[in-house]
A and B are shown apart, each in its own frame.
Chain A
Amino acid sequence: MDDYFAEADEHLLAIRRCLLMLDGVERPDPSSAILEELFRSCHSLKGISAMVELREAEVLAHHMESCLRAIRQGQTALDAANLETLLAGANALEAVIVARREGNLLPSGEEAIAALRAMASATTEARPAAASGEPVTGPSSWTVRFVPSPELVARGIKVDTIRARLLEIGRIVSVAPRVLPGGGIAFEFHAQTDDQASLAALKDDGVTYEAYVAVTPEAGVPATTASDLPAGPRAWEMASAAPGNFVRVDLARLDDLMRLAGDLVVTRSRLDDTLQRIERHVPSREFRLLQEHDLLMERQLRDLREGIMRVRLVPVGEVFRRMPFVVRDLAHDIGKRVKLEIAGQSTEIDKFLIERMMDPILHLARNAVGHGIETVDERVAAGKPPEGTIRLNASTVGESVVIEIADDGAGIDLAAIARRSTKGVHVEDGTVDPRLLLDVICESGFSTREEADRISGRGVGMAVVRSTVEELGGTLEVQTEPGRGTRFSITLPLTLAIIDAIIAHVGNQTFAVPQSAVQEVIEVDPDKLRSLEKNELLTHRGRALPIVRLERLFHLETTPRPRLHAIVVGTGLNALGLVVDRVAGHREIVVKTIADPLIHVSGVSGATELGDGRLVLILDVGALSRGIRERPRVGERASA
């Protein structure tokens, strides 16, 4: 079934892409490649839906196909209304497939079907000959052969099943059993239907067909075997011919490889530890050799990891491809004019990361259409072009990928933010500290809208966007300028899995801090710490550095020490000193995500193993630095 969802997804994507490309083309060339692909995708979707017995999807795809056939035959124009009907059909299809995947109640899609039916039947009226059922244009005649087999019977497909299917799509003139050369038996129907696509869909049920040729009974019809292909298949019947140089790999298999490489990294670090311990027992010449091999192995391991990582990288464009559809759909619904500009589609990023980023990016794009871009009237009044622009851009910066979603709309209404936020936002010179602004709009339940709407729901969206980005080890930033627009930037690591980290001890616990967030490790004299309300501050490099004592945060027992160590993480206003007992050093660690809600606590982003089988928690520096900014509120609540 997973195969089905993956394939259905691809077809849906293709359908939408094609429909978008056809936007504005009233009478497409019937042989147009786009129309061809569209037709093929609907057809395949129908076929595979029938195979998994997802009847609702099959029917929808079938009706879309009928409409497309009408357009291909030039009987129907592809005007705006019809395009809308087809798009609605695609939406309904997706809804059905998603509902099936999520195990939800299947939507009937009746509305979409009715609209598609109306569109297809409008065709028939435009061509009276077909309606009158003259032989010339009437149902085509086919010789349909069905070869039963034990496998088919096991799937519940018997001659009666096929008979029923044929009756659904047309009528049966006659049926006769035939003996095959090998001694098997086949059933030969003479059937009439104009729905060749449905016939083709029966192919996997042991059915072959060809145009019916009237033969005199004496001549007989040479029996054929099931493997015989129907004469002259159309181009779209051979849709699944894939390009030869690509292999589709289940992501789980790559994950396995990555995990194995990760295990190797752990094993090598154990070996490294052992080597250090035996150094004085081994003659230095031999030890040098051992060390050389060890280093060589480290380098090769790194290459191996990078190699596996590269396999996992996919172009961001795969996600971006959905965007034009979403933007167009929503803009149309709420009566705005929006164009989407996409750049950097070929930027590569880890497949795992981008799949999880899909919803956040969609959400930001929806926000841009719904809240960012103004209505046409407002734009014209502001002296802007009536059509708003949303730019979606991806680029690689060092070891990170930056995805930006920018609109040229009205900007975030800072006054409304200040009014609604509980955080005491002050607007100075028409601007707000962007970090604080982000905190506010990402606050769960925050929305400047009075009512929940379908665009962004109840304000939970931004909170989810931010937590998703941060769970993946990325950062989210926002910039907004009144009247000029808003830009969200998501910075993500190229890949997850293995990172460099600082290992530190607090009490009897060990923590790992991602090195990318660490500025420096400093020694702290406890007497130099100043208390300010609930927080502690340290003057460091001329600035007040907020201090977080991990033992207090995590309720651990420690013995007081004359000197403390602080790991300085984050930069600028986000900088923070994490006080620990001891810093054990720097290690390469394999990151495992913590998914289970029982252990999903704030301040912890994942887990790792250092080679001794013990699990070590990885600190979430972003959440810790947010925590300290929010702590005064927690204090208030506690004292109230």
Chain B
Amino acid sequence: MTYILFGVAGTTYAVPSPQVQHIEMVEQITPVPNAAHAVEGVVFSRGQVVPVINLRARFGFERATINQRTRLLVVQQGSRSVGLLADEAKEFVTIADASIHPPSEAIGNLSGSYLNGVATLGDRVVLILDVREVVESTPIAAA
């Protein structure tokens, strides 16, 4: 299976490439008043209205300023298109199913519950993101 690798707060994550509709640079995100904390706002992406989840905020990190390297990964989850805001996105790799292991209990990070597995690529550790979990368990309104 092929994956797209992206970075959030110094960690490398992967999503299955068929689930990614496209990746774009971020120009302007319109904030949505009273939306949940992790929801950065909303953008038009190829004519579609797409909500943007800030993965840093989602994983409990400080938000970072949007810069040249920031990328929006528009992913398909069921019938929904949702944008995931990542610090950077660069690689397209093939990861064999055999090299993906279940996430160990040791990953105490908040993102631990949104992982489908952990893969080792050479000397790098890549966390396989469970997109469904990230999208569907994001609260829908501000607390």
Contacts and interface: CB of A to CB of B under 8 A. Distances in A.
A149 interface: no
Interface in B31-90: 31-36, 39, 41-44, 47-51, 53, 80-82
Contact of A593 (B49, B82, B141): B49
B138 to A, nearest CB: 6
Contacts of A616: 30
B133 interface: no
A556 B43 CA distance: 18
B51 A601 contact: no
A614 B34 contact: no
Contact of A601 (B35, B53, B138): B35
Given A509-B30, A592-B49, A617-B30, A600 B42 contact: no
A601 B82 contact: no
A594 B34 CA distance: 15
B99 interface: no
A612 B142 CA distance: 29
A94 interface: no
Given A594-B49, A599-B42, A604 B27 contact: no
B33 A596 contact: no
Interface string A580-623: 00000000000011111111111110010100011111000000
Contacts of B48: 592
Nearest to B53: A598
A554 B41 CA distance: 13
A609 B44 contact: yes
Nearest to A602: B34
A593 B48 CA distance: 9
A607 B34 contact: no
At the interface, is chain A mostly helix, strand, loop or mixed? mixed
Contacts of B80: 596
B28 interface: yes
A608 to B, nearest CB: 9
A553 B32 CA distance: 12
B43 A554 contact: no
A128 to B, nearest CB: 57
Contacts of A594: 42, 49
B34 A613 contact: no
A601 B140 CA distance: 9
A553 B80 CA distance: 28
Given A607-B42, A615-B42, A598 B33 contact: no
A509 B44 contact: no
B31 A509 contact: yes
Contact of A613 (B33, B35, B44, B53): B44
Interface residues of B, number: 26
A598 B30 contact: no
Nearest to A554: B33
Nearest to B28: A614
A596 B51 contact: yes
Contacts of A600: 140
A107 B106 CA distance: 46
A259 interface: yes
B36 A598 contact: yes
A46 B28 CA distance: 53
B30 A615 contact: yes
Contacts of B30: 509, 607, 614-617
Nearest to B79: A595
B28 A599 contact: no
A601 B34 contact: yes
B49 A598 contact: no
B44 A599 contact: no
Contacts of B50: 596
B27 A598 contact: no
A617 B44 contact: no
A280 interface: no
A593 B44 CA distance: 12
A282 B106 CA distance: 70
Nearest to A607: B49
A555 interface: yes
A594 B138 CA distance: 17
The interface centre, meaning the residue of B31, B33, B35, B42 with most chain A CB atoms within 10 A of its CB, is: B33
Nearest to B45: A615
Contacts of B36: 598
Contacts of A613: 27-28, 44
Contacts of B41: 599
A597 B27 CA distance: 23
B49 A604 contact: no
A597 B140 contact: yes
A223 B82 CA distance: 60
Given A593-B49, A604-B33, A614-B30, A598 B43 contact: no
Contacts of A603: 33-34
B33 A553 contact: yes
Contact of A259 (B31, B47, B141): B47
B27 A555 contact: no
A599 B32 CA distance: 7
A436 to B, nearest CB: 25
A556 B36 CA distance: 15
A391 B138 CA distance: 45
Contacts of A592: 44, 48-49
A598 B51 contact: yes
Nearest to B81: A596
A449 B132 CA distance: 39
A602 B53 CA distance: 19
A595 B28 CA distance: 20
Contacts of B140: 597-598, 600
B53 A596 contact: no
A498 to B, nearest CB: 14
Given A596-B82, A597-B140, A598-B82, A615 B34 contact: no
A150 to B, nearest CB: 30
Contacts of B42: 594, 599, 607, 615, 617
Nearest 9 pairs of A and B residues by beta carbon: A554-B33, A598-B51, A599-B51, A615-B30, A597-B140, A596-B51, A601-B34, A599-B32, A592-B49
Interface of B: 27-28, 30-36, 39, 41-44, 47-51, 53, 80-82, 138, 140-141
Given A597-B140, A617-B32, 8 more contacts: A259-B47, A554-B34, A556-B33, A599-B32, A601-B33, A603-B34, A615-B43, A617-B30
29 contacts: A553-B33, A555-B33, A555-B34, A556-B33, A592-B44, A595-B49, A596-B49, A598-B35, A598-B36, A598-B39, A598-B138, A598-B140, A599-B39, A599-B41, A599-B49, A600-B140, A601-B141, A602-B34, A603-B33, A603-B34, A604-B32, A607-B44, A613-B27, A614-B28, A614-B30, A615-B43, A616-B30, A617-B30, A617-B33
